Structure 1
Amino acid sequence: MEKYSLEERQLLILDLLASHHKVMAADLAPQLGTTEATIRRDLRHLADEGRCKRIHGGAISLSPQTSTLTERSKNQVNEKQALALAALKIIKKDQLIFLDASSTHLSLAVLLPEQLGLTVVTNSPAIAVRLLERKGIRTVLIGGELDYMVGGAVDITAAESINKFRFDLCFLGVCAWSSDLGFSAIHYQDSEFKRRVASRSGSLAVLCNDDKMESLASYPFLHSSELDYLICSRQDAVLMSHFEASGCTVITAG
């Protein structure tokens, strides 16, 4: 007789996904008193219901549900503030910086030091408005059709505007990260825009909320090994080892 019923087993799997963001069938089978084949069927059923995303040998959490930039800026305010403060450590004098449309980058825009002679390029009107209050920072807002959900311009006009720059440091907004596929975005056009920005940047940085870790959105755009700086909330030795193995500097906020 199996240790748990079908309903109990799937609820336990969802609980483990909520706390660990990633589960593997080989680990779950002995833990839940059943076979790997049964666990794979459970994961397939949960994925079909939109409760998780299948990966080879297991499953990971879905990307947090998207919302507008204004709505996102009201969530996890303290965590985003801590990430923004930690990001100041990697900013140097006279840099040309790109700030991608992101609610966390709204917090960073307010904190950028004015005495360093920074020039900041952004595709987000909301970030540009914050930067207008910073007299010591030169601000460039690139044009294009504004995407309501992204909170900035990510169309072909915006992408072509990026060709005019070579950034010293780029802060890319992300919707999800998984150890298998790297960083991903919810919207296709946004993912292609991020690829273009990454190709024009000397160093790439990501400020990643904890709920985006070991989750997956539809459009991967950046492998973990391509990142130079990860600023995150989680103090996790396995996570740090994963990034540091490819030369990425991991900075823990808080």
Structure 2
Amino acid sequence: MDKYSPEERHQLILNLLNSRSKVMATELATQLGTTEATIRRDLRFLADEGLCKRIHGGALSFAPPSGTQEERLTNRNSEKQALALAALKLVKKGQLIFLDASSTHMLLASVLPDNLDLTVVTNSPAIASRLLERKTIKTILIGGELDYSVGGAIDITAVESINKFRFDLSFLGVCAWSSEVGFSAIHYQDREFKRSVVTRSGALAVLCTDDKVEALASYPFLDSQELDYLVCTEHSSSLQGYFSNIQCQLIIV
């Protein structure tokens, strides 16, 4: 006889997904005192209800809830500040840098050095405003219709603007990462915009907060193997384990 009712198992599985972002059927079966077949049925039910994403042998949580760029800035702020400061190791003199619309990149813009003759291109007015008074940093704000939820321009006009540049280094905003599909975005148009940035970049960097690890958004845009630099915290053990085995420089804070 099962230790828990189906309803209790479903809630326990969701609780584990909220804390871990990824669960495996074999581990759940042992932990919840039931069979793998029962757990697979539970995961199938939860996926059909839109509460998780099935993967081979387990399930992933969806990307953490989003908000406006300013709203996201108040979430995990100290973690984002630490990532932004660590990312300064990647910035070199005379570079042309792209900063994607991202609350973490707002913090990065605020701490960029004044003495490196940098040129920063961004699709985010909030990021551009932080650089406006920095007279030694050239700032280019690309045009297009602003997306309220993303916090920047991601439409066809923005894509056409991106195609005028060849970036030395691009910092891409991400909604989620999983070992199954890599980095993903919540919105399709944002995915298309990010792919355009990828094609115009010499090197790609991601600043990844812990809540985005082993999660999934609807639109994958970057394979893990395409990334050059990853900045994450020491708590993201699964992320570190994966990227330590591929050609990507890890910066851990």
Q: Same fold (TM over 0.5)?
A: yes
CA deviation after TM superposition for structure 1 residue 211, in Å:
0.5
Aligned partner of 1:211 in structure 2 is 211
Aligned partner of 2:157 in structure 1 is 157
Query: What secondary structure does 2:202 align onto?
Result: strand
Aligned partner of 2:201 in structure 1 is 201
Aligned partner of 1:56 in structure 2 is 56
Identity across matched positions, percent: 71
Query: What secondary structure does 1:114 align onto?
Result: coil
One-letter amino acid matched to 2:22: K
> Structure 1, residues 183-207: CA drift from partner, whole Å, max 9, x if none?
0000000001000101111110001
One-letter amino acid matched to 2:212: K
One-letter amino acid matched to 2:86: A
- Give me the TM-score of the superposition, normalised by structure 1: 0.96
Change (3 A) 1:66 1:238: closer
Aligned partner of 2:233 in structure 1 is 233
Cα RMSD (Å): 1.2
Q: Distance in 1 between matches of 2:84 and 2:140?
A: 20
Aligned partner of 1:31 in structure 2 is 31
Aligned length: 253
Aligned partner of 1:248 in structure 2 is 248
- Give me the TM-score of the superposition, normalised by structure 2: 0.96
Q: Distance in 2 between matches of 1:6 and 1:96?
A: 55
Q: Distance in 1 between matches of 2:90 and 2:167?
A: 14
One-letter amino acid matched to 1:251: I
Return 229-238 or 31-40, whichever deviates more: 229-238
Structure-to-structure mapping, 1:78-227, within 5 angstroms? 78-227=78-227
> Structure 1, residues 224-245: CA drift from partner, whole Å, max 9, x if none?
1111111112434542231122
Query: What secondary structure does 1:13 align onto?
Result: helix
Consecutive unaligned residues in structure 2, runs of 5 or more: none
Aligned partner of 2:20 in structure 1 is 20
> Structure 1, residues 69-106: CA drift from partner, whole Å, max 9, x if none?
12111221111111100100111111110000001100
Query: What secondary structure does 1:4 align onto?
Result: coil
Q: Distance in 2 between matches of 1:234 and 1:7?
A: 35
Q: Distance in 2 between matches of 1:239 and 1:100?
A: 21
Q: Distance in 2 between matches of 1:145 and 1:71?
A: 20
Query: What secondary structure does 2:64 align onto?
Result: coil
Query: What secondary structure does 1:115 align onto?
Result: coil
Aligned partner of 1:74 in structure 2 is 74
Q: Distance in 2 between matches of 1:234 and 1:42?
A: 32
Change (3 A) 1:165 1:56: same
Q: Distance in 1 between matches of 2:115 and 2:96?
A: 14
> Given that residues 128 and 139 in structure 2 are in contact (C-alpha distance below 8 angstroms), is that contact kept between their aligned partners in structure 1?
yes
Q: Distance in 2 between matches of 1:236 and 1:84?
A: 16
> Given that residues 93 and 118 in structure 1 are in contact (C-alpha distance below 8 angstroms), is that contact kept between their aligned partners in structure 2?
yes
Q: Distance in 2 between matches of 1:148 and 1:234?
A: 32
Q: Distance in 2 between matches of 1:25 and 1:72?
A: 33
> Given that residues 210 and 235 in structure 2 are in contact (C-alpha distance below 8 angstroms), is that contact kept between their aligned partners in structure 1?
no
> Given that residues 235 and 252 in structure 1 are in contact (C-alpha distance below 8 angstroms), is that contact kept between their aligned partners in structure 2?
no
> Structure 1, residues 138-188: CA drift from partner, whole Å, max 9, x if none?
001111111111110101111011111111100000001111000000000
CA deviation after TM superposition for structure 1 residue 126, in Å:
0.7
